[in-house]
Structures are given as C-alpha cells and as structure tokens.
C-alpha cells in the first residue's frame, strides 16, 4: 500500500507545474509559460504507472513473483529519481520543448526558468518507491499465501478404520445407512459432499464446498 501511495504521489506531481518560464523581452510577445511535469519529465509519468501496477500485483503474487515485483519497484523508483533529478539539475533543458513551441527558439540565454516544489516531491517519491522495493524483497520472505479453497485431505478408505482394521457393522435389527435415492446426491440432501461430482453440483448452485470441511 505504501508503494501504491508513493507511485500515486509521483504521478500526481507530473500533472502540476514543474517549471515557470519567463521568456526574453526581445522575443515575440507571449505570456510566461508554466511547464507541467508530464512535459518536462515524461519518464516520471511512465515509471510512476509501472510502480503503481507492480505494487498492486504484489498483493496477489506468490513468493517468486514478489521478488520480481520488488525488482520492478526498485527500477521504477530509480527511474523516477533519475528523471526528476535531470530536470532539477538543468531546468532550462527540461523546459526546452515548451519554449521551442512558444517562440521557435529553445536556446535563448535570456530565458529565466524557475523550479516549483513538484520536482522535489517526485524525487522524494521515487526514493521511497525504491526503498519500498528493497523492503518488500526483505520482508516478503515471511509472508504467507492463503487460498479460499484449500485442497481437501485424501478421504480414508471406506472399508477400513484409522488403525487399518475393518469397521464393526451395526447390530442386527438396527437401521443401517442407506444410499441416496436415485437421481439425488448428498449435496441435494444438505449433507457433506461424498465425491467430486457432489462438490461440483454444490459449487454450481453457489454453495461453498468448504463449509463441510
């Protein structure tokens, strides 16, 4: 869940303004530019989506798959950090595409580009995503996997008891267990399923076959 939240934070930061651009006075009169993170660092958006998807997959992954998810989270976190740091270290390069579209020239020395807090937020989220991947690799070794329908134990031989001896029959004159009526099954009588066919019949009707285990 932490990795999902950090991925969402990184993705959300790319929808906000990363760079404020003041164009040179000699250029064609255009308003100042506000460059979003999705334009300044497209890779951050992609890595954030990968991190969110991988973190969600961890909830249903097995032991081996968790290691794979951990590696993906680590790579995604490092990718977010690298892309964010590139913009932080060189804001003008991050805004070059938006400046070129506005005035046709992206290399003007008179252009002033200032950073907002959003690139730093994405950088912090990337670090936390990477740490989440490392933590998952270490902690998931003790996680257990559970399934709704666990395999049923093998039934004992009807002709023998637990110690291998033949079961004693009912005394003479007393009622004995009778087989279900033709065309019906134990599942239809409200009893525990006696074989796989009865279990499938119960499951088809929407009943839980594990109730009788």
Render pLDDT for 152-191 as a digit per residue (tens, 0 to 9).
Answer: 555 555 455 555 555 555 554 444 444 555 555 544 455 6
Give percent of the chain with pLDDT exceeding 90.
25
Per-residue DSSP letter, 154: P
How many beta carbons lie within 10 A of that of residue 169, not counting itself?
8
Residues 6 or more apart from 111 whose CB is under 8 A from it?
A: 21, 22, 23, 24, 92, 95, 99
What pLDDT was estimated at residue 82?
Answer: 94
- pTM beyond 0.75: the answer is no
3 state DSSP class of 75: helix
Report pLDDT for 128: 94
Q: How far is CA 56 from the centre of its chain?
A: 1
C-alpha to C-alpha distance for 87 and 9, rounded to whole angstroms: 17
The three-class DSSP label of residue 185 is coil
pLDDT value, residue 176: 47
Please report the domains of the chain, with CATH numbers, ordered by start residue: 2-142 (1.20.140.150)
Taking the C-alpha atoms of residue 14 and residue 39, their distance in angstroms, rounded to an integer, is: 8
Instruction: Give the residues of the chain that fall short of pLDDT 50.
Output: 27, 149-150, 158, 172-178, 186-188
Output b/e per residue, 133-168; b: 16+ Cβ within 10 A.
beebbeebeeeeeeeeeeeeeeeeeeeeeeeeeeee
CB 118 within 8 A of CB 37: yes
**pLDDT reported for residue 175:** 46
Contact 11, 49 (CB under 8 A): yes
pLDDT, averaged across the chain: 76
Say how many C-beta atoms besides its own lie within 10 A of residue 110's C-beta.
Answer: 10
């Amino acid at each position: 869940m932490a990795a999902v939240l950090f991925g969402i934070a990184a993705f959300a930061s790319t929808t906000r303004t990363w760079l404020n651009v003041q164009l040179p006075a000699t250029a064609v009169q255009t308003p100042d530019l506000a460059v979003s993170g999705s334009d300044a660092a497209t890779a951050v958006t992609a890595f954030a989506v990968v991190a969110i998807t991988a973190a969600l997959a961890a909830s249903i992954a097995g032991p081996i798959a968790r290691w794979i998810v951990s590696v993906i989270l680590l790579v995604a976190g490092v990718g977010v950090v690298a892309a964010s740091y590139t913009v932080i270290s060189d804001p003008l390069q991050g805004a070059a595409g938006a400046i070129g579209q506005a005035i046709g020239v992206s290399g003007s020395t008179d252009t002033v580009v200032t950073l907002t807090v959003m690139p730093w937020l994405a950088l912090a989220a990337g670090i936390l995503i990477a740490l989440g991947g490392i933590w998952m690799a270490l902690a998931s070794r003790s996680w257990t996997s559970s399934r709704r329908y666990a395999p049923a134990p093998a039934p004992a031989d009807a002709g023998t008891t637990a110690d291998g001896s033949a079961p004693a029959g009912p005394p003479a004159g007393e009622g004995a267990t009778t087989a279900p009526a033709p065309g019906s099954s134990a599942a239809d009588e409200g009893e525990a399923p006696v074989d796989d066919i009865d279990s499938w019949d119960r499951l088809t009707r929407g009943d839980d076959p594990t109730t009788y285990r």
